[in-house]
Structure 1
Amino acid sequence: MEKILKGKEVADALKQRLKQEMEEFHKKNITPNLTIVIVGDRPDSAAYIKGAVKRCSEIGIECNVRELPKDLGQDKFVDVIQKLNDDEKVNGIMIMRPLPPQISENVVKYEIYPAKDVDCFSPVNLSKVMSGEEGGFAPCTPSAVMEILHHYGIDPRGKKAVIIGRSMVVGRPLAMMLLKENATITVCHTKTLNLAEEAGRAEILIAAAGKAKMVKRNMVKEGAVVIDVGINFDENGRMCGDVDFDEISQVAGMITPVPGGVGAVTSTILAKHVIDACKIQKNL
């Protein structure tokens, strides 16, 4: 029988560690603050924001949501970010993406202070992740994948890891994080020839392509660890991942479900980053 890697178990364990850290903050009358910025009414982001606010509240972090009009101009948006940069009460800033077309991410990403950029939007933080340098904030989703591996005692060292997906949000930074822990990395994508053959060599297979149930039985090595980052909806409107769970769970040694896997850990990683940012800013 396969072992289900439950995100809630990982998130709960991390939450308890963070609550212990918060006790030291409260002794000093310090409350870390996260401000989430969203432009326009984005139903696809509502669930994530709700989860982040709830998790921050459970841990003791103040979380504010700045909802901005969907037609806000780029200059005014930059003004909002700069004011948050300068606000000493704000320790972490998260900008919900994608932004509307009138606001260029390539401009805005240079405006957010790296020390407050808790989801790796700034090129400064991204370059630290890609170079293996300490001190930056990695994207929350790849960090959640690593937290799951660590929690369940899955050591990437020396293992062949295959990532399906090359985005700057998940695939590429995750590849560098695994490489830092001495895994041997293959990154696959839509132009990869013989994708099933490449994926089938993996001891750790991470699916982050954004295509529902694309990973089938012929793509998974017997006993492999399978991490499903995808969030999709099937033909019946039910949430599913990039992995065909019913098929793959019969052969995988360990596997994350969707829902209840990586996504369940992400908001707790965000809270951790806010606490870490507060420590840096307060010299704690």
Structure 2
Amino acid sequence: MKPLPIVVAIPTKNEAENIATTVRSVIDHFEAVVVVDSDSTDDTRALAKAEGAEIVPYTWDGKYPKKKQWCLDHVRPELDWMLFVDGDETPSPELIAELHRIFDPTAEGSRRVAPAAFDIPLGYWFAGKRLRHGYTIVKRALLDRTRTRFPELDDLDAPGMGEQEGHYQPLADGPVVRLRATLEHEDLDPVRTWFDRHNRYSDWEAWLEHHPEVREEIRQAKTRQGQLFHRAPLKPLVSFAYAYVYKRGFLDGRAGLDYALAMSFYRWQIGVKAREKNASFPLTE
């Protein structure tokens, strides 16, 4: 079958545990697979290269563009379409088939595709188990680089994110369509790394609470679900009730409970850190 006219960009830093599986899942299906690596100190680059991926080194200069926008600007620019896949993600066979239907090789090139971007739901794994219920994560991961761009926000002084764009979506100059099939997110690293990452992310989220103009820009660059939750009060309780009760996370057993509690704890962390900062540096009216 003809490769899809898409470049897969895999941003990495120390993903040796996962990267071979990720590259192997895409290498035969897409026109190009590029690992954009931020000075990994493990075997990420060697393992990815052994599976057939191109390797592009990346060092952030502390300014915009950040890493994903840099990929859109510089990685295989002759291909309009880019699919972002994390180093611990693999497209499901159903997603590959869905993309082949969209990018029909009998049509006249990829420009026939009307949407400017596609949102893809994640098949999320937590603590070794695939979650079938609960909170659903959707990523705007497939982009026509000629019609999409990540916003440049005034958050370069914020802690927690560094070279990566924060928890917001790229902006699209055209329609956005949600796909049915999933991108499987299965991190083989120990669960403590999830908590390490989200501890950093909560620093960024708490910083936003004290920069409402940036927070509002980010709200506008989120999905509809993200925008609604952005305004919700009592976020730790709302998060748990939504994921575990309304979205029936309890059907995933102990893993469903653990994930709902972990996300609720993450929201609690953001609130505590924001209140701590508020107590140290009171906001003026």
TM-score, structure 2 as length reference: 0.27
More strand by share: 2
Question: Could you state the TM-score of these two structures normalised by the residue count of structure 1?
Answer: 0.27
Q: Which has the higher contact order (CA 8 A, sep 6+)?
A: 1
